[in-house]
Structure 1
Amino acid sequence: MHSDRTDAAPPQPAPTGSPDRPPTRPVPPTSADDAVPGDDDRAEVTRPPRLLLPAAGGRWAVLLALAVAASTTATLLLPALLARAVNQALAGAGTATGHQLLLVLALLTAAEATAQYAAPRSSAEGAARIRALAIRRTLAAGPAAVARMPVGDLVARLTASAPQAALAAPALVYSAAQLLMAVVAVVALTLISPLLSLAFLATAPTGYAVIRRQLRRTTHAGDGYQRTQAQLASGLLDALSGSRSIAASATVTREIERVLRPLPHLSRLGHELWDTQRRTAWCTGLLAPATQLAVLAVAGTQVAAGRLGVGDLLAALGYTGIGLSGLGTAQSLLDVAQARAGAARLTGVLTLPVRGVTSRPLPAGPGRLELRGVVVRRQGVAALDGLDLTVPDGSWTALVGAPDSVTSLVAALAVGLAEPDEGTVTLDGVPLMEIHPDELPTAISCAFADPVLTGATVQDALGLGPAPPPPWRLRGAARAAQADTFIRRLPDGYRTPMSSLVLSGGERQRLGLARALARDSRLIVLDDATCGLDGATEAAALHALREETAGRTVLHITRRATVAAAADRVAWLHEGRVHTVAAHDELWPLAAYRDVLDGGTPGPRPAPVKASAGD
């Protein structure tokens, strides 16, 4: 049975050491963009993260681009102005060029100061924008998000990958500026003397080849580092969710080893990233003086021969230094590679499927639920195969069957948390997927075996929804769910903060039931929502629930005979289809039916039983 966090996909057996929180099985990908992380994660690196570039930008990115453009212009003008000023000084000419030189230096200083301030602000703003975009998409995707990737991996993408992706804007700005300066510097050296550009180009290509190689290493290591971080986060979340069982079974040491198992690989990848930067700095550090010496030797020879003046020599040295700034693109391009890896991982989040918002209104109706020809595949296997089920309006229908994950999948379909691969699910004749999402919580309420209770206080948790019910209705729902008594015993009753509560499984279930009953919904779906109650409490709750839901439609997924007996009719799910719809008393003589309710596996396909009227 599912909690209301992961009810869109069948659960899988829990990993060793974390029995309290079984992970959900990922939904098979329907396209390249929907690939399941972990199975096809390496393919994500090749995806162009173009959709993140607008989010990574912003006003600070624009200011940074303007400042770098001004700085680049001033830097390129400096050697030419310096050469002219020196030549004029040696010739005894005026100081007009000197004044221009001072203005350019002032512009360079102001532009550099602005860029140093704007760059970190651009990264911070971009990270905030990207993270907000990814969080909105994750919440809009709902259960599909955790069905497609582990929670730890999802959290790592939202936290660690966003700052990495935000490096894109400043890194691209600096890379473009440095490459432009390198190209202009080579052109300027050619104009001064073609031999100077040849001397420069004799060594520079080696540096660019080194940078290209290191970029490939950085992209691979950066992506692996982020994926390994996600594995650590997933293992830690699993361990924390199963901490009570781990402590009770005295397997803490083994669990620590399991969680930390990816750590050596993370360390190797981190060292590889640092080694890449070290090698890049080392190679460029050697190439820069070698290139400068080559250009200086050629320029000195030409000055001695009278082909160049002293000012030209200074200009050549200046443009050589500017040309070597192309090697400085190494760090910027490394940032681009890391940003690309982060953006590729976030692309998996930003392409999560989100149901389109439609405007078809839901007409008034009694809450008749119909599933026609429903097919749902999980990992290439049909979990539901041509399911036909009608829940008549105003009736209480119990759905029984095995495995639990399949019956819970029916609950997810009934409340609009999952979509069928084939077939339709309708409420009062309107397909659920065509109803505006804001109307569904009003029309359908649900309770789960493992409810997640959110809200500042108990009353807030019970009233969760677009329009919280009035307090008197909340208290009536709590009484029907057998929760009012223990709520009143809390320190502040219904005003008790949720953060201060330690609830048993049965108490949480009763609060989940009360939350579902508090809304005046036409359809109520209960996914084994009373399985944690003791016999007496469950019997009282079922009696009160029948009175509270009189006139409303109820679909109760269960494996308990007491619940099935209390229902008007039982739909027996077998091999992905409804095999029989009949009263519990008619089905009880069948051994296979009793095996399902007792928690065993179904026997051979039972002989058909005549369905009751209405389905």
Structure 2
Amino acid sequence: MVRTEPTGGDEAAPAAEARPSPAVLRAGGRRLLRAALGRTRALLGLLVLCTLLRVLATLATPVMLAQAIDAVHTGEPLGAPLARLASVLAVAALADAGEDLAGSYCGSRITAWLRHRLIGRVLELGVPGRRRFPTGDVLARLTESASGPAAFPVQLVSVAATLATTAGAVLALALIDWTLAAAFALGVPPAVVVLRAFVAQAGEPFADYQRHQASIATRLLDAHQGIRTIRACGTAAREAARVLRPLPLLREAGHRTWAAQGRVGWRLSLLAPLLQVVVVGVAGLRLATGAITPGGLVAAVSYTALAVGAVALFDTFVALLNCEVSAGRVQEVLDTAPAVAPPPRPVALPDGPGRLDLRGVTVRIGDRTVLDRLDLAVPAGAGVAVVGASGTGKSVLVSLAGRLLDPQEGRVELDGVPVTAVAPPELRRAVAYAFERPALLGSTVHDMIAYARPGATRAEVRRAARTAAADDFVRALPDGYDTPLDRAPLSGGELQRLGLARAALADARVLVLDDATSSLDTATEVKVTRALRRLLARRTSLVVARRPATAARADLVAWLDGGRIRALAPHADLWQDPEYRAVFGAAPRAGA
């Protein structure tokens, strides 16, 4: 039951963001993966140690087996060779178990770290970030992309272990007979060429596949939020088609990925047994000439199998590439600079009456200029209603006061201090907001009202609720103020009153109401309006007004038109202008 608090319908549609190239995505992923490994040094060290023991035990096993076979062949005692073979096998089993344990803990820590960083950055990006990274896309990155790199430490160490095992096996072949190592070396260059070609070809389809998955998730989340409208309009089939529209692109990206894997897979599946036949054939010839013993032949066959096991690196490379792409999608969000960044050297906000000044403010959203060199002076303690036709930027304008977004040009000052120079926590205490659709944040109704002041007492919370005419219906809930939010059946008007109570509890010097009473019925609005008069009498307020009555209650009306303030005057004076009345859809002779 979580609702968002948009800056309003006045914002322009976001411009399409250019997505990073696969090379850039993977480069960012590598940077993040290196940082992630640095966060798990101790566990990574344990993983490497266990892997090293397993590799050494694996390489020693054929030697121990050959010694046992030669002991049988020559009639020597078997006790010592069998004991050494059993010891090596036991070390390999214990090391393998240690690998699994260390790898699991390492991966879970990386996932947790990535998710914490991703959530923190998404919250820092605020409303502008939501335009670039929609909710469904963020969820896809948070779940799939952030969990993908969990396998990276294990896969990376696995590559090192496989390469070490292969190198050790080839060295052992050379020690048995140099011709065996030479025969194996013939197959290395083709394998390297094939793997390099795969990495070059598969990066883009991997990235496209994850991007199209996120697109489907975003569309599905949008449909879920609008499920009542869909059911009411009988458009479920059409909406399902819209949600699944990226499916052909997803299928095409998947086919490209699988095609790249298939082209490499069949080549390696032919190369591995062919190479093994060649090496074993050479070993057989050397046995026939007496150059190696029967135990040496068995060891050569075992080491050849270990060396050819490097072909399995293909599957590991696929997993590593997926880790890179997943980490790159997380890094893409982390690399996005917040539109509202904290000042490097914050300035303390002096005590003041709450005078607000906007000087030459320009705000562009996408390709559209919403506010154009706008000037507005809000006197301290005055109530100013912001009025304008739909799409003129009313919600954008009031968002500037508390730095929910920053203008591209101009400056916003609170009591003579630029808001960009004030530390965000201090500014949040000075400017409070109530929105049309408040978010249900916290565990209980008490927590929601006290969200900005978690240390508030029950008496303070109830006082704020009474100010917003919310105390009666809250006490009628199953557990009163302790009712969990997911068990609180709230209407739109009740939700707005809780949002007003939250703003009242903040006790800020500037109060911004972004259409915060639109869902109230007439009787409730009268009660809330009476309470708001007491609340707003002591402070500066900006109120987005879409009703004439709301504008009439304000001291001044800021008439927004064409990205600028067309007039700043009392509602009664502006009402004489037919164009002003038309903003509310009023007839020329209508009164306030």
TM-score normalised according to structure 1 size: 0.84
Give, in angstroms, the shift of residue 111 of structure 1: 1.6
Q: Which residue of 2 aligns with 1:65?
A: 48
Does the C-alpha gap of structure 1 residues 180 and 116 become closer, same or farther in structure 2, counting only changes over 3 Å? Answer: same
Aligned mates of 1:220, 1:132 — CA distance in 2: 27
Q: How does 1:193-212 map to 2 (within 5 A)?
A: 193-212=177-196
Q: Which residue of 2 aligns with 1:260?
A: 244
8 Å CA contact retained: 2:10, 2:390: no
Aligned mates of 1:448, 1:599 — CA distance in 2: 25
Q: Which amino acid aligns with 2:407?
A: P
Q: Which residue of 2 aligns with 1:461?
A: 448
Q: Which residue of 2 aligns with 1:612?
A: none
Match of 2:487 among 496, 500, 504: 500
CA deviation profile, 1:400-455 (whole Å, cap 9, x unmatched): 22344621111221112112222222222222233222223321111111211223
Give, in angstroms, the shift of residue 81 of structure 1: 5.8
Q: Which amino acid aligns with 1:141?
A: L
Q: Which residue of 1 aligns with 2:400?
A: 413
Q: Which residue of 2 aligns with 1:135?
A: 119
Q: Which amino acid aligns with 2:54?
A: S
Q: Which residue of 2 aligns with 1:119?
A: 103
Matched, 1:318 2:325: no
Matched, 1:75 2:58: yes
* 560-569 or 347-356, larger mean C-alpha shift: 347-356
Aligned mates of 1:89, 1:496 — CA distance in 2: 79
Does the C-alpha gap of structure 1 residues 561 and 468 become closer, same or farther in structure 2, counting only changes over 3 Å? Answer: farther
Does the C-alpha gap of structure 1 residues 127 and 8 become closer, same or farther in structure 2, counting only changes over 3 Å? Answer: farther
Give, in angstroms, the shift of residue 598 of structure 1: 2.7
Q: Which amino acid aligns with 2:378?
A: V
8 Å CA contact retained: 1:144, 1:353: no
CA deviation profile, 1:479-526 (whole Å, cap 9, x unmatched): 333333443444444343322233332222222122211221111011
8 Å CA contact retained: 1:376, 1:384: yes
5+ long unaligned stretches in structure 2: 588-592
Q: Which residue of 1 aligns with 2:141?
A: 157
Q: How does 1:155-234 map to 2 (within 5 A)?
A: 155-190=139-174, 192-216=176-200, 218-234=202-218
Q: How does 1:86-101 map to 2 (within 5 A)?
A: none
* 442-451 or 526-535, larger mean C-alpha shift: 526-535
Aligned mates of 1:94, 1:298 — CA distance in 2: 31
Give, in angstroms, the shift of residue 42 of structure 1: 5.3
- RMSD over aligned Cα atoms: 3.2
Q: Which residue of 2 aligns with 1:54?
A: 35
Match of 2:369 among 382, 387, 401: 382
Q: Which residue of 2 aligns with 1:342?
A: 326
- Match of 1:438, SS state, is helix
Matched, 1:514 2:501: yes
Q: How does 1:323-472 map to 2 (within 5 A)?
A: 323-354=307-338, 355-356=341-342, 359-404=346-391, 406-472=393-459
Aligned mates of 1:5, 1:182 — CA distance in 2: 58
Q: Which residue of 2 aligns with 1:33?
A: none
TM-score normalised according to structure 2 size: 0.87
Q: Which residue of 2 aligns with 1:32?
A: none
Q: Which amino acid aligns with 1:126?
A: I
Aligned mates of 1:214, 1:152 — CA distance in 2: 30
Aligned mates of 1:43, 1:528 — CA distance in 2: 46
8 Å CA contact retained: 2:372, 2:564: yes
8 Å CA contact retained: 2:11, 2:365: no
5+ long unaligned stretches in structure 1: 13-23, 29-35, 601-615
Aligned mates of 1:314, 1:208 — CA distance in 2: 28
Q: Point out the structure with the larger helix share.
A: 2
8 Å CA contact retained: 2:5, 2:436: no
Q: Which amino acid aligns with 1:108?
A: A
Aligned mates of 1:314, 1:399 — CA distance in 2: 88
Matched, 1:5 2:5: yes
Q: Which residue of 2 aligns with 1:561?
A: 548
Give, in angstroms, the shift of residue 149 of structure 1: 1.0
Does the C-alpha gap of structure 1 residues 109 and 540 become closer, same or farther in structure 2, counting only changes over 3 Å? Answer: closer
Q: Which residue of 2 aligns with 1:245?
A: 229
Give, in angstroms, the shift of residue 335 of structure 1: 0.9
Q: Which residue of 2 aligns with 1:15?
A: none
Aligned mates of 2:373, 2:440 — CA distance in 1: 34
Q: Which amino acid aligns with 2:316?
A: S
Aligned mates of 2:373, 2:11 — CA distance in 1: 21
Aligned mates of 1:413, 1:92 — CA distance in 2: 91
Aligned mates of 1:528, 1:67 — CA distance in 2: 62
8 Å CA contact retained: 1:144, 1:352: no
